[in-house]
Amino acid sequence: MVTLLVLCRFVHFTVVLLMFGACAFRPWLLGAAPQPGLDRQLTRLTRGLAAVGLFTGVAWLLLITASMAGSWDAALQPTTVQLVLGKTFFGQVWVWHLLLNLLLVIVLVKPWQALHLPLIALLLATLAPVGHGAMLDGLSGQLLILNQAVHLVCVGAWLGGLLLLVLILRQPQGVALEPILRRFSGVGYGLVAGLLVTGLINVRVLTGQLWPTPLFSGFALILLIKVMLVGGMLALALLNRLRIERCEQRLGSLKASVMTEWLLGVAAVAAVSLLGTLPPMVMAG
């Protein structure tokens, strides 16, 4: 059951993060002018991701219900699911999350482009109270949820932005890549700073330390793996930034580098999905 929950969290977090970043970066990287081929591809991709998000969101609820009740049968009993939705903090948040996801699926079928990003942003925001973000009560808990929301925005923008870059690089017609990469890189500095600051705050609040111990087991080990993956993303991003001039002449290596950076980001989300099921080892005092 734990393995299925980790897998479900991973897929759900990934699709929401990708939708947010790709839709947020679309006007920033390419402007308001329509790009028919890319826009159709992005719309189809977003519709697919939203459908997967709705499916995994429902599966996540059922897995949580089964885990709380200690029985697989409980996940299929409406009264038990209703109890989880109405009487637990997770359930109360998840009602809104699933409704937003359903509304997004409907909106993506209609030509209501202006509603896409606001709905996806709200969908992302309702992931912030899930997991360790709900460990604290009162003002401390609200600030931790706010910090987690900022963290998710930074991660989603970076990861989804990389996906959009992959789509741009795969377009058959030639585009001016250097200004696009410069715009992405410029925003990337702020995203990395926000990601690092909010990540360190999360670790400090949840563990009572600058870094959890013991280093090579449990929560600390998975956190270390996540940091190493993010470090690999940063190294590739810096390499691409240093080689940004005449990037059209090395399109093959650029595609490989951006794809690798994106895959490292997806792997980091997988590590986060596992972290959310592990105790953070909060220190007394």
pTM, 2 dp: 0.88
For the chain, report the end-to-end CA distance as a whole number of angstroms: 34
| pLDDT, position 212 | 72
Encoded tokens for 10: 């991973």
Q: List per-residue pLDDT tens for the chain, 285 residues long.
A: 678 888 999 999 999 999 999 999 998 888 877 788 888 899 999 999 999 999 999 999 999 998 888 888 878 888 999 999 998 989 999 999 999 999 999 999 887 888 999 999 999 999 999 876 666 677 888 888 999 999 999 999 999 999 998 888 887 766 778 888 888 888 888 888 888 898 888 888 877 777 777 677 677 888 888 889 988 988 888 887 777 777 767 777 888 888 998 999 899 888 888 877 776 654 433
Residue 112, classed as helix, strand or coil, is coil
Angle between helices 116-125 and 138-169 (to 10 degrees): 130
Task: For residues 264 and 40, give the distance between their C-alpha atoms in angstroms, rounded to a whole number.
Answer: 26
| pLDDT, position 283 | 42
Residue 35, classed as helix, strand or coil, is coil
Residue 279, classed as helix, strand or coil, is coil
Distance of CA 10 to the CA centre of its chain: 9
Task: For residues 276 and 285, give the distance between their C-alpha atoms in angstroms, rounded to a whole number.
Answer: 23
| pLDDT, position 133 | 64
Domain boundaries, the chain: 2-275
